[in-house]
Amino acid sequence: MPETPVLSLRGISKRFGAVQALSGFDLEVNAGEVVALVGDNGAGKSTAIKAIAGVNPPDEGVIEWQGRRVSINRPHDAQNLGIATVYQDLALCDNLDVVGNLFLGRELRRFGVLDEVRMEQRSRELLHTLSIRIPSVRIPVASLSGGQRQTVAIARSLVGDPKVVLLDEPTAALGVEQTAEVLDLVERLREHGLGTILISHNMVDVMAVADRIAVLRLGRNNGFFDKRSTSTEEIISAITGATESAVTRRQARIREERQARGEEEP
C-alpha cells in the first residue's frame, strides 16, 4: 500500500514479571480502515491496546504515528496524538455522572469554568446516536447496567475528534440492538476516515465490519488476513493454533487412556 499507515507498531514487546505478554508484535492501521485484533483469552490483545494508549508503555518496539516515530509514555500522549480508547474494563469513575465521565480529561469550558450545559447537550446527542437508553445523563454511572456503562465508555471515545479509535471488546456486554449500533458506528468511523482497531471474540461481528484481521497467539503475531480472501475457519485455526493443539490433544488422550487402564488392572 503506497499511503503511510496512520498508526504502525513494530516489534512491540511487553513483559509482566514472569509473563512475556507480547513479543515482537507488529500491527498497522490505515486511515479509513478497520483492523480486527483477535486471539484467545490471554493472547495479549489488551496488552497491545494499552501499549498504544500509553497505559502500559511497551518495553521494546517502535510506534509510528503518520510515519513519524513517537513515544507514548502516558495516556495523555496518546490522547494528544488523537488516539481514543475504549478499555475492556471501561475505566469509568463510578462517582461521576454520565456527563462527567464522557468529558473526563477534555471538559468543555466557558470563561475557564466547566460548561455543564454544553457538555450535557453534547452527551445527549452522543448517546442518542448510539441509541442507548439511560435513566438520566446526570446520575452516577454506578447506577447504570453493564451494557449502559459500556455504551458510555464507547461514547466517551468519540468526544475528542480522534483519528484512531481502539475498541477492546466493545460489544461484550451489549444487547442485539446496541451491538448493531456499535457495528454501525465502526462503519461510520471508517467512512469518516478514522483508523479503528477492534478487538472481539465474536467472529460474525469481526467478519461483518473488519477490513483486515490480525491474529495474536501467545503474545506473537500469528498471521494477517484480508477479510475478502479469508474464511472464518482459517482465522479460527490461526487463533487456536489448530495443528499444534491437535497434537497436544492426542497426547493428552493417550495419557488418559493409559491412566484408565492402570486403574482397571491394579
Partner 1 sequence: MNGDRDSGGGPERPAGAPSQEPAPKAVPAVDSRLIVREEGLRGYVGEFRRKMRSGELGSLPVVVAIAVIWTVFGSLDSTFLSAQNLSDLSQQIVGTGMIAVGIVFVLLLGEIDLSVGSVSGLCAAIFAVLNVLNGMNEWLALLVAVAGGAAVGLIHGFFFAKVGVPAFVVTLAGNLFWNGLMLQVLGTSGTVNIPSESIVAKLYSTIFHSPATAYVAAGVGVGLFLLASLQDARRRQAAHVPFRPFGEIVLRTVVIAAIAFVAAYILNQYQGLPLPLLIFLILLVLLDFVLRRTRYGRQIFAVGGNIEGARRAGISVPFVRMSVFTVSGTMAAIGGLFLAGQIQSASQTSGGGNLLMNVIAAAVIGGTSLFGGRGSVWSALLGALVIGSIQSGMNIMGVSNAVQFMITGAVLLAAVVVDSLSRRSQKAAGRA
Ligand X SMILES: Nc1ncnc2c1ncn2[C@@H]1O[C@H](COP(=O)(O)OP(=O)(O)OP(=O)(O)O)[C@@H](O)[C@H]1O
Binding residues for ligand X (CB under 6 A): 16-17, 19, 21, 39, 41-47, 88
118 touches partner 1 (CB under 8 A): yes
> Nearest-5° angle of CA 94, CA 98, CA 101?
65
Using CB under 8 A, pick the residue from 31, 62, 91, 207 that binds partner 1. 91
- CA separation (Å) from 69 to 37, 61, 66, 193, 263? 22, 11, 8, 21, 62
Please name the residue that has the C-alpha cell 452527551.
123
Tell me how far, at minimum, the Cβ of 56 lies from ligand X, in Å.
7
Tell me the site size for partner 1, rule CB under 8 A: 45
Report d(CA 30, CA 259) in Å as an integer.
53
In this structure, the strands spanning 60-65 and 34-38 are unpaired
Using CB under 8 A, pick the residue from 42, 69, 74, 188 that binds partner 1. 74
Using CB under 5 A as the criterion, which residues of the chain lie in contact with Mg ion when the complex forms? 46, 88
134 touches partner 1 (CB under 8 A): yes
Specify the residue, 61 or 100, whose C-beta has the smaller distance to ligand X.
61
28 touches partner 1 (CB under 8 A): no
79 binds, among Mg ion, ligand X, partner 1, none (CB under 5 to 8 A by kind): partner 1
Report d(CA 187, CA 58) in Å as an integer.
29
**Window 54 to 73, contacts with partner 1 (CB under 8 A):** 55
75 touches partner 1 (CB under 8 A): yes
Specify the residue, 46 or 150, whose C-beta has the smaller distance to Mg ion.
46
Of 1-9, 15-23, 83-91, 230-238: span binding partner 1 (CB under 8 A): 83-91
Residues 6+ apart with CB under 8 A from 222: 39, 215, 216, 238, 239, 241
- Residue 147 half-sphere exposure toward CB, CA atoms < 13 A: 15
- Residue 242: CB atoms within 10 A of its CB come to 13
Specify the residue, 21 or 183, whose C-beta has the smaller distance to ligand X.
21
